Amino acid sequence: MNTINEPYTLIQNIVDTSVDLLVIIENEKPVLMNRACCEFFGVNSFEEYSNGFGDFVNNFVPHPSYFNSNKVGVGQSWIEALDRLDEKEKIVSLVNTSHEPRAFSVSVDSSHPSYTVLSFTDISANLIKRIMIDNDANLDKESGAYNKEYFLRTAEILQDGAAFNEKEIGLTMINVCDPKENTLPLLVGAIKNCIRENDMVIKYSPNKLLLAYLVDSKDNAILFSEKLKKKSSGMDLNISLTLVKQREKLTASIKRLNIALEEKPVNKLQLI
């Protein structure tokens, strides 16, 4: 039995059990990666990767919101630059074999004097939630929804996240026609029970809620809004929805929804 390669084989077997992408770096270059990483880059082995790819840092898409080679300072290695970031800023974009950009949170372990272990966790589905951290200052105390000011401050991030994930932004506005004292909190609670983790419900005015979400198509936005309408049965509501147009500001899209709500009868769902 060849005992020289036993430690290497053991390490390879251990890292191959991880669903995250794992890479061991020496002097800024990979010396080992796990099976999940090879599959992501579409290679059969680390040797094949080494022969077909250049510097590992060049895998990071040069997106201004995420770490990449353009953010490495003079005299720094890219490992040092990445390691010095706050945990919430250690996010990179990698492109898979289907040419789809994916967002990854990076864990950096530099405890060994000669090697650095990088672990990449796919957070594409949670990107908006990761950036827009939920805290009391961003919530409307009465309804439990995000407040309007917070939503407008983060609108650019929402559009950036939509472009990054190659999705469209759907907006659904709900006008409560005869609001009572507890109507909005009840409605917000019902909506939160049926929306996804990354969807946002915003109190836009005293009697209006706005839903912002990423969606693949107009048909899915309609299905989503019909689901909301069923959850609010028994309430007199107007509901309008739209998709944000290319290069359109969210405020312009919302203005279209507001105008439509004023012109439609109660308990109707309308696509703008």
Which band of pLDDT confidence, cut at 50, 70 and 90, is reported for residue 233? low
User: What is the C-alpha to C-alpha distance for residues 238 and 152, in angstroms, rounded to an integer?
Assistant: 22
Residue-wise pLDDT for 126-185, tens only, equals: 665 555 444 555 778 888 888 888 888 777 777 877 877 778 899 999 888 776 767 888
**Average pLDDT for the chain:** 84
DSSP-assigned states of every residue in 165-210: TT-EEEEEEEEESS--TTHHHHHHHHHHTTS-TT-EEEEEETTEEE
DSSP H or E run through 72? none
Looking up tokens 């309408």 gives 229
pTM greater than the 0.95 cutoff? no
Most confident residue range from 48-57, 183-192, 240-249, 250-259: 48-57
| Strand partners for 240 | 173, 270
Which band of pLDDT confidence, cut at 50, 70 and 90, is reported for residue 261? confident
Looking up tokens 């990076």 gives 106
pLDDT score, position 32: 92
User: What is the C-alpha to C-alpha distance for residues 62 and 64, in angstroms, rounded to an integer?
Assistant: 6
- The structural domains of the chain, ordered by start, are 6-122 (3.30.450.20), 128-271 (3.30.70.270)
pLDDT score, position 126: 66
Residue-wise pLDDT for 55-104, tens only, equals: 999 999 888 778 999 999 999 999 999 999 998 899 998 988 877 778 89
pLDDT score, position 267: 59
Which band of pLDDT confidence, cut at 50, 70 and 90, is reported for residue 123? confident
pLDDT score, position 245: 87
pLDDT score, position 1: 43
pLDDT score, position 266: 55
